[in-house]
Structures are given as structure tokens and as C-alpha cells.
Structure 1
Amino acid sequence: MKSDIEISQHCHMWPIEKIAKKLHLTPDQIEPYGHYKAKVSLPIKDQHTKQKLILMTAINPTPKGEGKTTVAIGLADALNQLHHNAALALREPSIGPVMGMKGGAAGGGYAQVEPMEDINLHFTGDMDALTEAHDTLSALIDAHIHHGNQLNLDPRQITWHRVLDVNDRELRNCVVGLGGRFSGVPRQDSFSITAASELMAILCLSRNLMDMKKRISKIVIGYTFDEKPVTVKDLGATGALTLLLKDAIKPNLVQTLEHTPTFIHGGPFANIAHGCNSILATKAALNTADYTVTEAGFGADLGAEKFMDIVAPRIHKTPDAVVIVASVRALKYNGGMKLADLPKENVQALLKGAANLKQHISSMKRYGKPVVVAINRFAGAPDAGTDHEVQVLKNYITKDLHTHAAVVDVWGQGGKGALDLAKIVAKDCNEQRTFHPLYNQDDDLVTKLNKIVKNCYGGKKVVLSSKAKAQLESLKQNGWDKLPVCVAKTQYSLTDDAHRLGAPKDFLIHVRALEPKLGAGFIIALTGKVLTMPGLPSHPAALNMDIDKNGKITGLF
């Protein structure tokens, strides 16, 4: 079978104006970026009673990932094959994973969004704009301190750190301002990846340009020597940061290999941020299609929980169905098998690892919406699972877990490989079920965290470090302790330990820090050893990439 990029390079894309016409967008509502990409400007409605929203999530993955984006693309294509008028709303890739190990975010095989090369590289410049706006604020903060510090900022309590859209472990901790008094005030600093920037969260949660401006003004950049919070508004930088993002806030329109309209916008990681594409992209799809398929990053314990508890209240729409992507290989991995042994048939390990799937199904059903499992077959992959393993898994899901399931092969067949899934999902979307939030908005922070740990992870409770306890008191004093919570946690485990696979019970989640993100409107709870700046593996994907004199790219998946 051809590689992803070979399939992409031989596809026939429609002009973006033709894709826009499928959505009944007028010429003045799109701003073409070349022939096959466009920014979209359209009024956003909040009433979506007839439109169906499908949330795609997954189990805890292997390091390769479980094909959640690929299945989302295949499902949307399949819905269109069934004449249901579907669109996609997905996140933008980050250069970090593209050049690292996990890969891009444009799907794979015959379930891709196009132009794949552009989407996985600089696309329409949103990531660059976010990085520049974020680091402009860092520069303004240091310039303010250097030129007299009228706001009385304590350099030891600057909470706004720099970002870069590259996996660079060397920048996790650094010292800035060295070189003498003309080079600034020395202080300790750090870099996160752009996907972890609060500006990324703000862009993804803003309703329009002025809402984004209001949110940016609320960003806490640090504290004074007498412990008073200082915001972007206090610094006077709100307007400058907003204008740097004036184009980035507009959703991007592209297409799948099967010409399904796709809005790709915003790229927060779900393990260190809230992990969902922009509400503007989701609303754009809801406003122009009958079925919208959207994806939340990593497993149901991360992106899906955050979609339900942080995003859904802001779009005034809860999912009509939830699809959990599972694979034989990931369940055997969660059942204790080593990565090298996954091609071997092992039903015992499969059923042991299926406890992980059971927990994710339970956590999603807790919200009251229909749940369907997509068993991703990974056509042709040596660790895709035998026919017997796939049948055992499907029987376990349907008979023991009383949940609908369908085997999918969208990587090898595109939308055709998800027709069974599409039929189940379309039917489930018509069920009238009441949404049950995981926690009340007026619950205190620890109560919210404990409800997430117990109901979503299957754990016992949270334990706060001494630093987190002190930060909690500060949050209470400032009246911020009732905000929603966004948990930063490893994606490989239900616990905060990446090596505890499967479905442990009665474990503790260790919160080492609590960070207020007032612009985003939530509190980040950093758990375990999760890092906001990833590092590159021993053999990064970047080393396999090349371009020839004709501009033809190779090695990009």
C-alpha cells in the first residue's frame, strides 16, 4: 500500500470555492489561501437543535496513537456516502509532533484531509501567529521590568513563560537577561510548546474577535512583590496581542480525500491543555452541515472529559453521540504485552487490557449520551489484530459491556470502511437523552478534581502537594477557585504514572501545581511528571524527510 504522502500527492482536490459551495457559503464569507485552503468568516448561531454533533475520542493509546483523527475523517466521509451532509471540525497539527514521533494531524491512508503537506507544515500561519503573540507578551513583560517596573512585578513570580512550536527539551528551564544591564534583568524562565499557550486556549474558546480581546485582557502574567495579580490589561498590551491574532481567529476550511468539508482550527494538546479544536470551527460546521464530527485529543480521560466539561457549555451544544476508538494492539498493550510482541495473537492479554476500554465507556456513559466503539483495524499493519481477536473484542463490547460496536478500516478503504459505524452513529444520534455534567460549575476546585478522578479515571481522590495547597489558598483569596478545571496528565495511563497501564483502581492523582488561566476561563492542574515542553525521540521523524528540486516532499508520513 502507498504511504500517506504518496496517496496525498496523487489525490484530486476540488478548488476551495467548490467545497465552500457545498456548505452554501457565499464568496464574501471565504478568504482563499491559494487554491485549496481558505479562512472562513460567518455569523455564528447558538441554536443547533436539529444538527447532530458526534464526538470522537479513544482509549489510552500506544506510543503510535490509535488513529482517532483518521477514524473521525473516515466516519464523516461515510456519513456523506450515506447522504447525510456531514462536515468535520478538527485541530491543527503542531510542528513538534510532526518533526518528532507521533506524526501530524491530517489522518492517514485513504482517510486524510488535504492539502496534507500544507496542513502538517505552516498551513495558514495560525501557529506562527500564536507563537509570535505569546512571545511578544514575554518581551513586553521583560521590557517593562527593565524600564523601571511601574507595576511592581516580582521577577521571581512571572507566570507567563515563553513558547516555541518545536519539541525542544533544552528549553524547559533557562535563564534570560544575561549579558549585562543593557541586556535586561536576569531571571529564571522556561519554554512550553505553543499548543500549551493560554493564547491557544483563548483562541479556541473565543466566540469572536472582541470576546478574544476581552479574554486576552484577563491573562495573569505574574504577581507583585505584595502578591497582587498583574494582568495583560494592567500592562496595556491587550490591543497589540489581539491584532496579531486577528486572522488566526478565523477557522480554516479544507477537504478530505472524498471532498468532505473540513474546518481545521486551533491545536491545544489534550495532555497539557484542553485538547479540542476551536468552538468557532465546531459552530461553523454545525451552522453549515447536518452532521458534525469533531475530535478531542488523546483518550476519553483527557480530551473528551474536557470537551464535555469545558467546551460544551461554551458552544451551547452537547454531543448527540460519542465514538470511542479502540484497537486490538492498544488493548493488548494495556493488557501487559510489550510493543514488539503485539503482532502475536494473545486473547488473554486482549481481554485483560479491555478493562481500559470498559473504564472509558463507563466514564462517557456517565454523561448520559449514546456511546459507540469503533474497532480500528489498521489494514495491513502487522499488529492490527487477527480476525479471531477482533471478533472476541467485538463480542465482549456488545455482550459484556452492552455497547454498540463496529469494525472500521478507513485507513485502507476511506469512508467505505466506516459505513457500518456511520449507520450505528446516525441512528444513535436520534435518541433523545439528557446530558449530565460531571460536576456543578459552583463546586469548589478539589470537589471538581475528585469527581474527575473518581468518575472519569476510576481512581480514589486527588492529593495536593504543599505548593498546590498554597496555590489553592491564593486561588480562594482571589475568587478563582470555582472555575472549571483542566487536568494536565499523561495520555498513556488513567493514572498520573505513564507506566501504569490497563485500568487500575483506587489510585491517587498527585497534583503538583495549580495555575490560573483567567483568559481561558479555567484552572490548570498539573499532575505527576507531565511536561509542557516535549522532547524529540532518538530518531525524530524529521530525519526521514526531504524535498527535491521540483518541490516534491518525501518522508512526511
Structure 2
Amino acid sequence: KSTVTIGLVQALTAHLKINSFACLRQPSQGPTFGFNLHLTGDIHAITAANNLLAAAIDARILHESTQSDKALYNRLVPVVKGVRGFSSIQLARLRRLGINKTDPETLTEEEISRFVRLDIDPSTITWQRVVDTNDRFLRKITIGQANTEKGFVRQAQFDIAVASEIMAILALTTSLEDMKERLGKIVVANDKKGEPVTAEDLGVTGALAVLMKDAIKPTLMQTLEGTPVFVHAGPFANIAHGNSSILADKIALKLVGEKGFVVTEAGFGADIGMEKFFNIKCRASGLVPSVVVLVATVRALKMHGGGPSVSAGAPLKKEYTEENLQLVADGCCNLQKQIQITQLFGVPVVVALNVFKTDSPAEVDLVCKIAKQSGAFDAVPCNHWSDGGRGAVKLAQAVEKAANQKSSFKYLYGLELPIAEKIKTIAQKVYGAKDIELSPAAQSQIDRYTRQGFGKLPICMAKTHLSLSHQPERKGVPTGFILPISDVRASIGAGFIYPLVGTMSTMPGLPTRPCFYDIDLDPVTEEVKGLF
């Protein structure tokens, strides 16, 4: 996606003299190990904020379980230089509790008890610690085993940093004020009465905002041909909502002017990145897209047509390096389905065929022909990988034409539909499933979120990107399958409900041969080798 995005803006600006701006996500160092190498610092800020909130939750449970109301109150509202006063976040909590007092000496015992006790039910904690490394051994851990924690041991887990709700908040926020409000709304657990407990209740909102205050600013970079690029945020597309930030898009739109183009990236296929871009990001930003650029390669289509599986680091099988029109034709069913998914939203689609030197002209022609027959506004071979912006000029011209079409953009579902109905709509209309199956855990979470008033949020499916279905090995266009929903989580600050499809893990693992074998540093020149 990102190479096509860069090729396209280089073609628009450097070759067609049309103002354009690229908005990219920052990839995590987890899966790629090395692409970002601390590029913008966004991920570090998110990791720090996320883990501060995690530490605050467990510390609060420990202190509440080992102290009386009076002792808690004296520590939470201490006497400083002879004076006792509430901090502003504590005053806000009192107001939410319906206690309209500002003098700490005037609270009754009952009011003190309500103020100091969040009464978190440890079995309902949904907030996890994060780290930006593929570390499979952190998928399930036990915390609190030191004697100082007085036997408060519980099972927990780490997620990859880019799956943190704080990353989704960064990508969907529109201002510092909005970000602070979203951070405060994060639901981390329930109390023993079944009511949600938030970051605001824990008193940590201001500190989170301070940790995130610089990360909210997009990083300005440029392509090799001098075209401007914003790199900002990097939510995982198969776990989170997979799009670069609204702020980067809005700033870029302001800068390119009325006739300019902003090319913004959505991760993975139309079934994941694009669906979430439209149903979640466009709802939050109010922006309406003019055209979809769908990226395809002959190699990927051959795999969907029944070609052999590919393993990282192994040489490509001959099916992928020699002409095989039958495999290409068979695999185009997947491209056809991706085009149909874009058409659900009423936006014209241009297929960008990313050409490799082993693709034959006949294979390239065949894909473009089938794409156009399947409803694409146009389908264009691109050689930006070898020729830079010049190799994407035809794509840029097609995009400019498509953007002038009358677009009738619409969302896939209404927010007022029940949570399960929204999940089912995505499963059936986008993935091609026959139906969904909710596990008992998923069903009880849906019931709980609906009761707590979170039922009207959009849906962010956590699903494999390797298949339209939940089974990575099922290529092409699987049909007739039942989509299993194993769990449902809520990202209230980000503003979406987050179902886990099948065995989807929120922490990837390293393969047998990770790319760190190829990464090296020359200690004399400090040159980094092996990133690309």
C-alpha cells in the first residue's frame, strides 16, 4: 500500500504538477522489525501511556484492598503545607458521583467511601500491557508474584503496542481537547456492581495527555522526488482499525488546496482496511472519499488461484516467476470480490497493479481486463518500484478521472443496529459468510456493553488478513462459512466495539528465521544494512 501511495503522489506532484500529499501509517517494529526503528516516536509515547494506565489499575486495586476508607482518603487527598485540597480531576470525579463539595473536610463517611473506592472487579479487567515486539511468550502471563503485592496475583497478557486503544485514539482524534476527552473515556474494567471504570475514574487522564502531547503532531517527511508525506499513527489493520490519522488527512487537505489530492493509506484489503476506513474513520472525520485505489499483484492473485503457499525467506516457486495465465484467471475471483466490496460504499475504484519484473505482459493485461469487466473504473499497471513517480503517471491520470465521477458514498450499516446485527452485516456482506456464531463470552460482553450504553458504536473486526474468511489458508473467495466470534472488547475512547474473530491473537510471534538475521550495523560508518 505505502509504495503505491508514494508512487501515486510522486506522479501527481512531480509529473502532473497537481498538488498532492501522502498520509502513511507508521509500521510497528514488531512484524517488520526494522522499518520504523523509532521513526516518529509515536509508538514509544503510546507504549508509555498505555503501561502507565495498566500500572495505575493494579496499584489501585492493591491499595484499596489493604487500606481503610480513612487511610485511603488521607493518602489520596493529603495535607500539603497545612492545607488539604482536591486536584481538579478529583473534583470532576466528585461531581460525577453527585457530591457537590469542594472542601475535603466536609465529606461524610459515606461520601468518602464512594469517592475512594473504585471497587474494580479484577476478573473484568480488559486493559492490557503492551510492547512493540513480536513476543509470543507474553500472550498469557501471571503478574503480582512478589511478596510486596501481598498475594494479589492474577493472569494477564501483553498486546503488541500498535493494538493499544491509545493508538486508535491517536489515529481518530481531531484535537488535543478531543484526545484528552477520549483518553478519559477509556473503559479499563467493571466495578463489582457491573458499572464501567474509566481512566478518568483512576485520575490518570491528564498524565496520559501529557505523555501524548507531542505524538499528536504528524511527522512531515518527503519522498525521493520531494513530495510531502505525513507519517502519523500506526494502528494494526487486522487487530485495530488500520488507518493513518485523521489529523494528518485534515492538515494535508488544507495544504493541497481545493484541486489537490490527499492519498491516505488503509491497511490490507478492502475487507479490512477499507471497510474500517469507511465505517469508522469517515464517521469520525466527516470526510467523504472521492476514489478508492485497490492494490493488486499478479503473484498474490496466483496464490488466490491455488498457487503453492509461500514461506518467509524461501525462494519463490516457479508458479510465481513463470507465466501461468490459468492461475491468474482463477485468482482474479479474489480481486473481483474486493472490487464488489468497494462498490457497497458507492465510491469509484481504480485497480493499481503493482508489476514485478517476473510478471509477463499477458498476465498483466489479463488482470487489468478482468478488473475492468468486474466494475473497476479503470485498472492500471504501475512500475513505481523501479521508475519512481514516472512509473505511476497512468495511475495518477486514472485516479484524477475517477475523482471527477459522481460519487454516492454510503456507510455499510446504521449505528442504531444492535451490536450483533452490525457484526453479522460485515460478516455476510463483506466477508461472504453465511452467518456468525457468538461464543458465550462474546454474547455476555455484547449484553454488558449494550446495557452500559455502548451499543451504538461502529464495529472494528479483529480478523486475519490472509483470507476473506477467518481461516488464513482459505484463499480465493470462500463462501458458506460460519464466522466465529470468540470475544468482544470495547474501545470506548477510540469509539468502537472490537470483536475477535476465531483464534485472532493480539500479540504476533516471531517466525523461526526473523529478519533480524539480515539487519546489521557498521560500527565505523554507522550505516544500517539489511532493512530493505
| Aligned position for 1:201 | 168
Instruction: Name the CA distance, whole Å, in 1 between partners of 2:480 and 2:297.
Output: 26
Instruction: Name the CA distance, whole Å, in 2 between partners of 1:295 and 1:408.
Output: 17
Secondary structure at the aligned position of 1:159 is classed as coil
Contact 1:156 1:188 in 2 (8 A): no
Residues 37-68 of structure 1, C-alpha deviation per residue, up to 9 Å, x if partnerless?
xxxxxxxxxxxxxxxxxxxxxxxxxxxxxxx1
Secondary structure at the aligned position of 2:159 is classed as strand
Instruction: Name the CA distance, whole Å, in 1 between partners of 2:166 and 2:248.
Output: 16
Secondary structure at the aligned position of 2:460 is classed as strand
Which residues of structure 1 form unaligned runs of 5+?
1-67, 105-119
Contact 2:170 2:245 in 1 (8 A): yes
Match of 2:352 among 371, 374, 379: 374
Instruction: Name the CA distance, whole Å, in 1 between partners of 2:150 and 2:206.
Output: 26
Contact 1:146 1:184 in 2 (8 A): no
- What TM-score comes out, normalization by structure 2 length? 0.86
| Aligned position for 2:219 | 252
Secondary structure at the aligned position of 1:451 is classed as helix
The alpha-carbon deviation at position 227 of structure 1 amounts to: 2.0
Contact 1:130 1:200 in 2 (8 A): yes
Alignment partner of 1:300 is 2:300 = no
Alignment partner of 1:165 is 2:132 = yes
Instruction: Name the CA distance, whole Å, in 2 between partners of 1:455 and 1:412.
Output: 37
The residue correspondences of 1:213-232 to structure 2 (distance < 5 A) are: 213-232=180-199
Residues 232-285 of structure 1, C-alpha deviation per residue, up to 9 Å, x if partnerless?
111111111111101011111000011110011000011000000110011111
Alignment partner of 1:284 is 2:251 = yes
The residue correspondences of 1:94-113 to structure 2 (distance < 5 A) are: 94-99=28-33, 104=35
Instruction: Name the CA distance, whole Å, in 2 between partners of 1:267 and 1:123.
Output: 12
| Aligned position for 1:553 | 528
The residue correspondences of 1:305-316 to structure 2 (distance < 5 A) are: 305-316=275-286
Contact 1:275 1:296 in 2 (8 A): yes
| Aligned position for 2:300 | 330
Instruction: Name the CA distance, whole Å, in 1 between partners of 2:452 and 2:158.
Output: 26
Secondary structure at the aligned position of 2:123 is classed as strand
Alignment partner of 1:236 is 2:152 = no
The alpha-carbon deviation at position 98 of structure 1 amounts to: 2.4
The residue correspondences of 1:419-498 to structure 2 (distance < 5 A) are: 419-498=393-472
Instruction: Name the CA distance, whole Å, in 2 between partners of 1:391 and 1:273.
Output: 35
Alignment partner of 1:365 is 2:343 = yes
Match of 2:19 among 81, 85, 88: 85
Contact 1:143 1:184 in 2 (8 A): no
Instruction: Name the CA distance, whole Å, in 2 between partners of 1:530 and 1:415.
Output: 37
Instruction: Name the CA distance, whole Å, in 2 between partners of 1:322 and 1:402.
Output: 10
Instruction: Name the CA distance, whole Å, in 2 between partners of 1:213 and 1:82.
Output: 41
The alpha-carbon deviation at position 401 of structure 1 amounts to: 4.1
Contact 2:351 2:376 in 1 (8 A): no
| Aligned position for 2:47 | 131
Alignment partner of 1:353 is 2:331 = yes
CA RMSD of aligned residues (A): 1.3
Alignment partner of 1:76 is 2:43 = no
Residues 466-489 of structure 1, C-alpha deviation per residue, up to 9 Å, x if partnerless?
111111111121121221000000
The alpha-carbon deviation at position 393 of structure 1 amounts to: 1.4
Contact 1:142 1:184 in 2 (8 A): no
| Aligned position for 1:35 | none
Secondary structure at the aligned position of 2:64 is classed as coil
**How many residues are matched?**
468
1:363–1:225 CA distance, 2 compared to 1 (3 A)? same
The alpha-carbon deviation at position 183 of structure 1 amounts to: 7.0
The alpha-carbon deviation at position 440 of structure 1 amounts to: 1.0
Which residues of structure 2 form unaligned runs of 5+?
66-116, 311-316
1:351 partner letter: A
Q: Give the greater-gyration-radius structure (CA).
A: 2
1:552 partner letter: E
| Aligned position for 1:317 | 287
| Aligned position for 1:63 | none
Structure with more helix by fraction = 2
Instruction: Name the CA distance, whole Å, in 1 between partners of 2:151 and 2:60.
Output: 10
The alpha-carbon deviation at position 512 of structure 1 amounts to: 0.7
The alpha-carbon deviation at position 458 of structure 1 amounts to: 2.0
| Aligned position for 1:113 | none
Contact 2:355 2:381 in 1 (8 A): yes
Instruction: Name the CA distance, whole Å, in 1 between partners of 2:297 and 2:492.
Output: 38
The alpha-carbon deviation at position 344 of structure 1 amounts to: 3.0
Secondary structure at the aligned position of 1:487 is classed as coil
Instruction: Name the CA distance, whole Å, in 1 between partners of 2:59 and 2:151.
Output: 7
- What TM-score comes out, normalization by structure 1 length? 0.82
Instruction: Name the CA distance, whole Å, in 2 between partners of 1:161 and 1:185.
Output: 17
2:291 partner letter: A
| Aligned position for 1:140 | 56
Deviates more, 1:139-148 or 1:78-87: 139-148
Structure with more strand by fraction = 1
Identity among equivalent positions (%) equals 45
Secondary structure at the aligned position of 1:156 is classed as helix
1:243 partner letter: V
Instruction: Name the CA distance, whole Å, in 1 between partners of 2:450 and 2:160.
Output: 29
Deviates more, 1:504-513 or 1:125-134: 504-513
Contact 1:267 1:275 in 2 (8 A): yes
2:222 partner letter: Q
1:322–1:184 CA distance, 2 compared to 1 (3 A)? farther
Instruction: Name the CA distance, whole Å, in 1 between partners of 2:376 and 2:526.
Output: 52
Residues 156-201 of structure 1, C-alpha deviation per residue, up to 9 Å, x if partnerless?
2211110001110010100011121347721111000011000001
The alpha-carbon deviation at position 390 of structure 1 amounts to: 1.1
The alpha-carbon deviation at position 357 of structure 1 amounts to: 0.6
Instruction: Name the CA distance, whole Å, in 2 between partners of 1:402 and 1:533.
Output: 36
Residues 521-549 of structure 1, C-alpha deviation per residue, up to 9 Å, x if partnerless?
11001001111100111111112111112
Contact 2:348 2:376 in 1 (8 A): no
Secondary structure at the aligned position of 2:11 is classed as helix
Residues 98-133 of structure 1, C-alpha deviation per residue, up to 9 Å, x if partnerless?
22xxx73xxxxxxxxxxxxxxx21123111111011
Residues 473-512 of structure 1, C-alpha deviation per residue, up to 9 Å, x if partnerless?
1112112122100000000000011111100123221111
Alignment partner of 1:343 is 2:317 = no
| Aligned position for 1:57 | none
Instruction: Name the CA distance, whole Å, in 1 between partners of 2:346 and 2:374.
Output: 19
Instruction: Name the CA distance, whole Å, in 1 between partners of 2:281 and 2:246.
Output: 7
